[in-house]
Amino acid sequence: MGVATFGMENMAFVIFLTAVMQAMTWKFDWQRYILLAVPTYLVEGLLASIGLKIAMKFLGFTYELPAELAAADTFFNGARIQMVLISVAGFGLFVYLFAKFRYVQPAVPYFVIIAAGVILAQFVHVPMLHVEDVPLSLALPLPHFDSALTLIYVFGFAAMLAIIDVIEQVMSNAAIQKIDPLKRTCNSNNSLLAIWIANIGSSFFGGMTNLDGLAKSTTNRLAGAYTKFSVLVIGCVVTFFVLNPQYLELLPKFAVAIVMMFTGWKMIAGLMHVTHHGPYAMVLAFLTGALVYKVGIFEGLLVAMAVHGVVHYLVDSQTNKRPAKAIVGDYFANLRRISREY
């Protein structure tokens, strides 16, 4: 969304700004206030909306044809029907393997669909992934905006990215503790320290944000990893493809689409986590998802938070017959209580 809105040339500045805000959150231990202000079910709704965007974006890869096979007079020609059937079969195989191996070897469906796609591309003419090779260079993450208004919007967008990363990190840490075979305690401050350092470094090379994730930690756990040495292995694999992007062009687009559409679906399925919060949380999560999908991540989350605040104010004022001053006072008293506890 950031790339589409601000352009790739400005993303380094956006990521740098996000990392600075994350550093401030880490330094002053602001995550406790963020978690109070932004309920987890709003974040789940936001992530579900992004998952839907990912799935819809990659859907086109499942029926895309090489230019020489795309007939101008008809859409569903023989080549396109063949491409659709290949994608459907591949997606079905992926889902079957995921269900079969998710608790024992979760990497199996990914390896199979990638290997099958590479082998199939040797016999069937299908669109291949194209990676534009750009030089790896060190550069200051400076902004290139035409108006001050855009710069203000960028600050809001970066703040939303930072908040979402912090919330997801703290939520993931709580879940990671439960799956750790050695029952170690996750230190959120250490995680946030690692995040902002990595993201600031990334911004000087044109990279994107990243964070510890439950999905990655779960995969490592299921694969038999016990320590963070496994993260070093992942880093080495990523580094190899950064330095040798030509090997990615051996992968057909439909195989990429299958993986990304499944990822999008898993993000949408995260809404099921909201059910234990009750009907109100479920409705607000869906509202957040719809708003983010239609108007954007920044505006959508702000509107959802405003609706959440108004609903709580109305319920409290009408049910308990309390004046607005008392309700607002209790909110800030709660903030002070949390601050003392930390």
Give the three-class secondary structure for 143: coil
C-alpha 98, offset from chain centre: 20
Confidence (pLDDT) at 295: 82
Confidence (pLDDT) at 315: 80
**Nearest alpha-carbon partner for 133 in 237, 239, 245:** 245
- pLDDT tens digits for 1-41? 788 888 888 889 999 999 999 999 888 887 777 666 677 78
**Nearest alpha-carbon partner for 269 in 54, 33, 18:** 54
- pLDDT tens digits for 273-325? 888 888 988 999 999 899 988 887 767 878 888 888 888 778 877 777 777 77
Listed by start position, the domains of the chain span: 2-341
- pLDDT tens digits for 126-160? 999 988 877 778 999 988 887 778 888 888 889 88
- Rounded to two decimals, the pTM is 0.72
Identify any residues that bridge with 128 across adjacent strands, giving them in sequence order. 252
When computed from its CA atoms, the radius of gyration of the chain, rounded to whole angstroms, is 23
Give yes or no for residue 272 having a pLDDT over 80: yes
Question: Which long-range contacts link 316-324 to residues 24+ away (Cβ below 8 Å)?
Answer: none
